[in-house]
């Protein structure tokens, strides 16, 4: 049975403060294109929570905002961030307006009581700076980690004074102090104002981050640290100030800053690094690329960004598994579709389907996707003689000198295909007519041994060399 609705969050997260009314906002989105969806929200703790609205209709293919309100509480939740006793249930079913002709809550509840429903179960999590402080003071490492995991910006909501206080409490713990401090710093705890930090960076040769034993033990450079803390402004400044010599620097696990960004899911940092020239297919010590790590995290947005910037999903790790293989194994159909757009581009190039090719490229398909033989769409269009497709790819900036596994460029493939117009189009657009394969074969030598006199003459007229080994 297809789902009637989807909910914006997997759980109800309450930013908890003592003796204060606290709220959490959810969005209930209809997946039914032709009829409204009736809903009713129930809670296991009606003495604590209010819901607005508690029931109603979601218009076809539209959405409605739900507000969960926690009444003021005079004690800390007995368990946090996950509550063991508080739950929400959202009951839903398609609603027949012709039968009731009304949007009154009584009609909705009556309808739901007589129909089979699809139910959404939501657990409750209590988060926020107040509970973070409580968890740190208790030395509850797991609670701190889970609050930060659920609410990544919680540390950024702290004032300088609050951040310093939190760090001081962490350093004074009897047990697990070092691990707690490491957790807070790596998650982005910032002491001192941004203005102070930027002034320090401008006046220091070591940038934003003084050498820290915790980071030094990991082998991190400044870019690694900025990425780990998801500090995009700091990363931008480091790149602008010429910290590019460490762009593909590796930590003790062989991770570049890009690989670390993919591991932690910091998309903006990853994009900044790629746009600054970071190696998009760099491997860590286990052979995994940024795409492998994005798939492992189930991070669809990271995968989309990496694919759009031409990361290769077919590269295998040390176990012989590609990111595409892993996505298939995990049943991540959306991710597979995103990564296979490159294959669709290859097929459009193979069949000379210019319109399909342009549509795929406009929707995130990678023109640099390579098959198991290292062939790009340009290689394939060239050998098939599809001049229009070749010109589209060239105009979009595909590298004319990209080689396949044997060192063939698109010009080699055009010669092999025997189409003089494609050969000329590539040369006119700057293809290197003297390019050599890994065995030293030039396009002219290939044309001669294949008996393509018209292509040989064209290449000779452009001043190319005839021997397989000469330049």
Going along the chain from its start, the domains and CATH numbers come out as 5-127 (2.60.40.10), 131-337 (1.25.40.20), 340-430 (1.25.40.20)
Q: What is the mean pLDDT of residues 26-46?
A: 91
pLDDT band at 324 (very low <50, low <70, confident <90, very high): confident
Regarding predicted confidence, which is higher, 232 or 127?
A: 127
Regarding predicted confidence, which is higher, 299 or 462?
A: 299
DSSP 103: -
**Which pLDDT score, from 0 to 100, does residue 416 have?**
93
Residue 195 has pLDDT above 70, yes or no: no
Residue 97 has pLDDT above 70, yes or no: no
Strand-strand pairing, 118-127 and 11-15: parallel
**Which pLDDT score, from 0 to 100, does residue 358 have?**
82
**Matching residue, tokens 């033989």:** 373
- Average pLDDT of the chain is 84
pLDDT tens, residue by residue, 338-393 = 777 777 888 888 899 888 888 777 766 667 777 778 888 999 999 999 999 999 89
Please name every residue paired with 389 in a beta bridge, in sequence order, or none if there are none. Answer: none
Residue 270 has pLDDT above 60, yes or no: yes
Longest dimension (CA), the chain: 91
Burial 271-285 (b: 16+ CB within 10 A, else e): bbbbebebbbebbbe
**Matching residue, tokens 């491997």:** 283
pLDDT band at 446 (very low <50, low <70, confident <90, very high): very high
């Amino acid at each position: 049975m297809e789902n009637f609705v989807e909910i914006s969050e997997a759980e109800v997260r309450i930013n908890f403060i003592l003796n204060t009314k606290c709220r959490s906002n959810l969005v209930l989105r209809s997946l039914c294109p032709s009829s409204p969806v009736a809903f009713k929200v129930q809670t296991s703790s009606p003495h604590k929570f209010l819901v607005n609205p508690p029931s109603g209709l979601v218009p076809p293919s539209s959405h409605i905002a739900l507000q969960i309100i926690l009444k003021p509480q005079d004690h800390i939740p007995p368990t946090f961030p996950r509550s063991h006793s508080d739950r929400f249930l959202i009951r839903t079913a398609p609603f027949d307006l012709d039968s009731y002709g009304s949007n009154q809550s009584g009609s909705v509840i009556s309808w739901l009581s007589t129909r089979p429903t699809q139910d959404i179960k939501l657990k409750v999590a209590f988060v926020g700076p107040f509970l973070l402080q409580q968890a740190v003071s208790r030395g509850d490492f797991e609670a701190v980690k889970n609050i930060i995991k659920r609410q990544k910006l919680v540390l950024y909501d702290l004032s300088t004074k609050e951040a310093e206080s939190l760090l001081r409490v962490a350093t004074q713990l009897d047990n697990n102090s070092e691990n707690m401090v490491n957790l807070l710093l790596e998650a982005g705890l910032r002491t001192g104002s941004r203005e102070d930090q930027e002034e320090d960076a401008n006046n220091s040769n070591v940038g934003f981050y003084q050498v820290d034993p915790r980071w030094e033990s990991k082998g991190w450079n400044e870019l690694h640290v900025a990425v780990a803390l998801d500090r995009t402004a700091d990363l931008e400044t480091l790149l602008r100030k010429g910290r590019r010599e460490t762009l593909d620097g590796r930590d003790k696990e062989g991770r570049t800053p890009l690989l670390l960004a993919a591991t932690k899911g910091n998309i903006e940092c990853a994009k900044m690094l790629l746009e600054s020239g970071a190696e998009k297919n760099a491997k860590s010590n286990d052979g995994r690329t940024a795409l492998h790590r994005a798939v492992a995290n189930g991070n669809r947005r990271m995968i989309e960004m990496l694919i759009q910037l031409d990361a290769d999903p077919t590269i295998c790790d040390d176990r012989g598994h590609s990111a595409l293989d892993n996505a298939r194994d995990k049943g991540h159909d959306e991710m597979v579709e995103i990564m296979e757009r490159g294959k669709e581009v290859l097929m459009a190039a193979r069949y000379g389907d210019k319109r399909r090719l342009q549509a795929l490229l406009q929707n995130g398909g990678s023109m640099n996707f390579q098959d198991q033989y290292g062939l790009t769409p340009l290689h394939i269009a060239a050998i098939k003689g599809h001049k229009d497709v070749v010109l589209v790819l060239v105009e979009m900036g595909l590298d004319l000198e990209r080689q396949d596994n044997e060192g063939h460029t698109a010009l080699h493939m055009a010669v092999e295909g025997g189409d003089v117009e494609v050969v000329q189009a590539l040369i006119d657009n700057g293809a290197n007519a003297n390019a050599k394969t890994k065995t030293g074969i030039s396009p002219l030598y290939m044309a001669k041994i294949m008996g393509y006199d018209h292509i040989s003459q064209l290449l000779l007229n452009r001043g190319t060399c005839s021997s397989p080994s000469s330049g």
